[in-house]
């Protein structure tokens, strides 16, 4: 069975560490918009003007992996909104992937998450991410697969 795992969580919540574990074991193609924000020196540099292109590249990578029939595709983004998640659910549906949505929900202290994340995302931005995620989960569409909390 082909599986699509969509990760949801604030910066610093452990999504990328979880993804790297799957990638290292050869189990998955991991798609992340962060990859589009890595410069020619291999250094991550957040640039708001590049965010749209980074997400488009992430979606294209996911589409290509599913088109090849890769057994496991992981979407490693914050995915804080229904529309962001919906893009990948639609792709999975199009390519007949079984979807799972994993919500990384072990930490709610934005200061702890800010200290933990690899990209220097500040606590006030993480606080906004956490609020958007909670709003998304509170308004979860019945047509979406039920999410699972990872604590």
The predicted-structure confidence for 43-76, as pLDDT tens digits, reads as follows 888 788 988 999 999 999 999 999 999 999 999 9
What is the distance, to the nearest Å, from the Cα of residue 3 to the centroid of all Cα atoms in its chain? 15
Question: Which of the pair, 151 or 129, is modelled with greater confidence?
Answer: 129
Phi, psi dihedrals of residue 8, rounded to the nearest 5°: -125, 130
Per-residue model confidence (pLDDT) at position 77: 95
Domain 3-150 - what CATH class?
alpha beta
The predicted-structure confidence for 100-129, as pLDDT tens digits, reads as follows 999 998 788 999 999 998 888 899 999 999
Q: 76: which strand partners?
A: 7
Confidence class of residue 6 from pLDDT cuts 50, 70 and 90? Answer: very high
CA-to-CA distance for 5 and 19, rounded, in angstroms?
Answer: 10
Per-residue model confidence (pLDDT) at position 107: 80
């Amino acid at each position: 069975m082909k599986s699509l795992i969509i990760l949801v969580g604030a910066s610093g919540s452990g999504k990328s560490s979880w993804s790297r574990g799957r990638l290292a074991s050869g189990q998955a193609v991991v798609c992340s918009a962060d990859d589009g924000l890595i410069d020619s020196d291999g250094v991550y540099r957040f640039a708001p003007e590049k965010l749209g292109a980074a997400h488009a590249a992430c979606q294209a990578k996911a589409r290509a992996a599913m088109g090849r029939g890769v057994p496991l595709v992981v979407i490693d983004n914050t995915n804080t909104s229904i529309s962001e998640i919906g893009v990948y659910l639609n792709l999975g549906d199009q390519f007949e992937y079984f979807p799972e949505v994993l919500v990384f929900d072990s930490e709610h202290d934005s200061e702890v998450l800010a200290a933990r994340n690899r990209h220097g995302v500040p606590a006030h931005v993480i606080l906004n991410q956490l609020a958007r995620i909670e709003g998304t989960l509170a308004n979860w569409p019945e047509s979406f697969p039920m999410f699972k909390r990872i604590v």
